[in-house]
Amino acid sequence: GYAIQYIQFLEKNKLEDDLLEFYNSYANLLCKQEKYKVARYHYDKAYNYYKTKKNYKECANVFNNISILLINTGQYDSALIYNSLSAEIYKANKDISAYPNSILGYAEIMIKKGNIEKAEVKAREALSLYQKANIGLGVANTYLVLGEIYFLKKEFQKAIVSYSEALIF
């Protein structure tokens, strides 16, 4: 409700740039409500706005969010494409927090596709980058993904250790 009121305020006051920037956040809210088609519409509007502004890091953020939407709708191959696009932009911009997030996203897609070995390799790559950058939340999220990987591999002791590491962070 607040998001809609904010959009109405921005439209009423002709604050187009603020409105277009808000579409990415609004689409995230819509995804949480599983309103994926409407969310995708707003992601596309946000992407087009950032593209015209040549704000490629924000374009990458939108691509990452689209990838998550596609994971949630079971479109894993399409999710990989958007995930890879975001990763390349983050890497080119030397974004030390967003780049490992894309790598971790890749690992999560591999889990969904059943390629557990590839998922583990990518999760370990993300963990290394997060540790080097001292990003605790990223480390914790990666340990959660590693715990899931070990659980799926029926390596329960390793899963418990990974989940415990996540709790520490």
pLDDT confidence of residue 163: 97
Coil, helix or strand at residue 37: helix
Q: String of b and e for 125-142 (b: at least 16 CB within 10 Å)?
A: bbbebbeeeebeebbebb
pLDDT confidence of residue 169: 86
Contacts of 127 (CB under 8 A, 6+ apart): 139, 142, 143, 146
Question: Does the predicted model carry a pTM greater than 0.85?
Answer: yes
Give the whole-angstrom CA distance, residue 69 versus residue 109: 12
pLDDT tens digits in sequence order for the chain, 169 residues long: 888 899 899 989 988 888 888 998 999 999 999 999 999 999 999 999 999 999 999 999 999 999 999 999 999 999 999 999 999 999 999 999 899 999 999 999 999 999 999 999 999 999 999 999 999 999 999 999 999 999 999 999 999 999 999 999 8
pLDDT confidence of residue 19: 85
pLDDT confidence of residue 16: 84
Please spell the DSSP secondary structure of 106-163, one letter per residue. HHHHHHHHT-HHHHHHHHHHHHHHHHHHT-HHHHHHHHHHHHHHHHHTT-HHHHHHHH
Query: 93 phi and psi, to 5 degrees?
Result: -90, 5
Contact predicate 61/86, CB 8 Å: yes
Give the whole-angstrom CA distance, residue 131 versus residue 138: 8
Residue type, 62: V
